[in-house]
Structure 1
Amino acid sequence: MAALSGWKQLVVALAIAGVLMVIIRLAGVPGAWAPLVIGGALGLMTAVVAGAPGRDES
């Protein structure tokens, strides 16, 4: 996903959030918890896409 342009990354992230919302609803998660679950999942996706922080070799 990191190789995609900014707009494509946004579209993919929103599509994944939509899929997560469907899965959350099917799993029976209460509506009040859904934003927390989606936020956590998107936060983990951000960490996976960004990768580990590199060392500053200056």
Structure 2
Amino acid sequence: MIPLGTTVELRFKDGTLERAIALDTGGAIRGTIIDYLASDNKNALQFGRQRIQIRIIK
């Protein structure tokens, strides 16, 4: 759904915004699910699964 190299803006459930670049498509990623890279396991577990808004920048 999001082509490689695309810049996107992510709006998280707490209202924070982050820009990111789609760097891979992941083998298990299908449909409207994205994979978000966290800095370490603790942060990944704290982040958990969330519904976020995505806006394509370019």
Which interval holds the TM-score relative to the shorter structure? Answer: under 0.3
**Which structure dedicates a bigger proportion of its chain to helix?**
1
Task: Tell me the TM-score normalised to structure 1 length.
Answer: 0.26
Q: Which has the higher contact order (CA 8 A, sep 6+)?
A: 2
Task: Tell me the TM-score normalised to structure 2 length.
Answer: 0.26
Whichever of the two has the greater Rg, that structure is 1
